[in-house]
Amino acid sequence: MPLEGPRDSSIAIVGDGFGSAIVFATAVYLGFRPDQVTIYGTNDNPVNTYQQFAFNLGQTVLRSESESHFLPADWPTFAQLECWSRGSPSPMFRSIGRKYNPGVPDILAEVTVVARRLGWNDNRFPRHVGWLQREHRPSPHFLLFDEEANYIGRAKHVMLAMGHGPLSFPPLLAKAREDPPTGDRIVQAYEPKVYAPDGRYVVIGAGIASVNEWANALDVGAKVISLLRNPAPDEQDLNTPRCLFEARGIDVFQGLPFEQRIAFLGKILKGTTPKRRGWAARVQRGVAEGRFEQIIGEIDRLEPGPAGLRIHITSRHGPDPGWLDVTGVISGTGFVKSVLTVPLLRRLVEHYNVPVEEGRLKLRTNCGIPGLDMAVSRLCMMGIFANTVIPHGDTIAGLKYIGRRFAVDCARAERVRQRSFFARLGMQLSLAGESARAMKTVRRMEQLA
Amino acid sequence: MCPTTLGRVQTRVAILIGPALFGLLLTLLTGNVGFIVTIGVYLLMGVALDLTLYTLVIRWQPPWLTFVLGVGEFVILAVLLNILQVPLTFPQAALFYWVSWILATLTRIIVLPLVSLAWLENGGEFRETGWSIPPALEPVPLIAQVEEERPYGALVREFSTVREIPEEIRNLPSPSGVRRIPTGPPPD
């Protein structure tokens, strides 16, 4: 049962998704009592938001690798857990060859086990945080209020784990979505959707969401044109180069000035296509059957048409494809990355003059909010809005990187007595054991690599 | 994992503590100093490789490479033990090496992540779990790949508005699962 009234906490986590589960589990692993941490959000399970997006995408396995799991420490990995759970060495061999991706049901089962065992929901106050107020007396802390300005608690340290901004569309498509004759023909990859077997679809983008949609549409027998704004994107298994996930890359990244970091992110996050056997086979079959093509260009005009939509595409890299009649356009363009689209962050920016450049907060190198963050009372950001500091901030590995360091900062500030090695080992083994049992009850997903 | 040079050395030393104790125990039990000397030579050889060859050649180290490196190190170690005339027979040295290697690997996989929460993220270094200190290192290079122009295929021509739309696709439902527009007559 969630909390029924406001309370004082050492750590407040604003948001109720994967990030909140990681910070909560890490804090408890380090020695905080669960009741010293409060989660603010209305979902009763940290998987809810992700589960909906995964369902809409038709995603069956993660792009992440075996280490992207939700146990507080890095061992055992997903491949080891699956091996243990299902009695098959195959995940271990795949992991050794870096061809293992955890299944969505497995990861949801693990998060649910970790959250339930550690009391995530019992320490959740079911309100959205609408305002944070920095107080300095008697000691630095934050007051938290909901969207109706009701007081909902106090906390010494706050982690902003609010996930992504709203779904992003190219401006022309965003406008057309407001227009009833065309609105329902333009869909975001992360929204629920239905493909007709004989339909003609244009899928914009080349990231994981778009690639999933190519496969989903081809699977039902539809025809797909993949529309890329730029020539072939770099091929990459993960959505940032591997070494940027670890100290070597992050040290270098953080050594760059803010402007160069933004420019660098613009390059590496523009579009990386993961190479996966399952997707590649489906696309090759689609090409062979004349049901898949890729073109470079942008939609510059759009109107209702006899097939549903009539779109005009221009290209700077060859002859214009011209006017096309299509059943629908699927936009795999992700989420809006501007912090100003998130009400709480916008209020903080306006009230406390938090510096923003090109829609990005100029976070401190510890992901702290400038002007509000203090060593003795941290206000920290995780997720996509922290990727100016941690380039893979919105991946599970990135959430762990930030969450761990924040939790350690809080433990240091609060002088929390660390669990002993054997207590940590016991906690880890017990969570891993129960996760493995839970994974046995869910469907095993086919590996795509 | 993308180990740093310091991370390689620190990890090497940490994972050989168990084998060193094992070698010491064997030395005390058998009176043969070859076991503990073997671990010493293995440590020195490993650190030398970490500081030179591995740092230069291996940037990202996938798990399978660890085994390959283990085989390579066994060959080099066998040669060194022979040159240094360490008092172990080849079967003794081979058995001792592979038991030590398994012990070291288990330490690396199981114990180190529990000892240091961020050991893996820190490239194998035993740093305090904290935020990066930015050293002035070279930026990670990125080279854009540009494809040659190519003519459009049959699908673009088929979708083109200059062609007649087949009857069967004229009334297909919209793809949206959330914004479906009602098609029936309005309610009275």
Q: Tens digit of pLDDT for each residue in B35-90? A: 999 999 999 999 999 999 998 888 778 777 888 999 999 999 999 999 999 999 99
Range of the domain at B36: 5-115
pLDDT value at A411 more than 50: yes
Q: Is A422 on the interface with B (CB under 8 A)?
A: no
* pLDDT of amino acid A57: 80
> Measured between beta carbons, which residues in chain A are less than 8 angstroms from residue B139?
252, 256, 260, 264
End-to-end CA distance of chain B: 66
- Pick A4 or B148 by higher pLDDT: A4
> Measured between beta carbons, which residues in chain B are less than 8 angstroms from residue A56?
177
User: Are residue A207 and residue A75 in the same domain, yes or no?
Assistant: no
Would A241 be classed as within a structural domain? Answer: no
Number of domains in chain B: 1
Q: Is A242 on the interface with B (CB under 8 A)?
A: yes
pLDDT value at A87 more than 90: no
User: Are residue A365 and residue A385 in the same domain, yes or no?
Assistant: yes
Would B106 be classed as within a structural domain? Answer: yes
Range of the domain at A346: 7-165+337-440
**Does the beta-carbon distance from B132 to A254 stay under 8 Å?**
yes
Domain CATH number, residue A202: 3.50.50.60
d(CA A110, CA A284): 34
Query: Smallest CA–CA separation between B103 and chain A, in Å?
Result: 16
Q: Which of A312, A331, A350 is the last residue of a domain?
A: A331
User: Are residue A65 and residue A211 in the same domain, yes or no?
Assistant: no
Would B182 be classed as within a structural domain? Answer: no
Would A247 be classed as within a structural domain? Answer: no
Number of domains in chain A: 2
3-class SS of residue A307: coil
Contact A140, A376 (CB under 8 A): yes
pTM: 0.80
Q: Which of A309, A331, A353 is the last residue of a domain?
A: A331
* pLDDT of amino acid A272: 47
* pLDDT of amino acid B10: 95
Mutate to test the interface with A, among B68, B145, B156 (most CBs of A within 10 A): B156
From the list A314, A340, A341, A310, the residue with the least C-alpha distance to A327 is A310
User: Are residue A291 and residue A158 in the same domain, yes or no?
Assistant: no
From the list B19, B60, B63, the residue with the least C-alpha distance to B40 is B19
* pLDDT of amino acid A211: 82
DSSP code of residue A320: -
Question: What one-letter code names the amino acid at B171?
Answer: N
* pLDDT of amino acid A144: 96
Would B155 be classed as within a structural domain? Answer: no
Backbone angles phi, psi at B4, to 5 degrees: -85, 170
User: Are residue A149 and residue A20 in the same domain, yes or no?
Assistant: yes
* pLDDT of amino acid A267: 61
Confidence of residue A51 (pLDDT cuts 50, 70, 90): confident
Q: Which residue has the tokens 């998130």?
A: A342
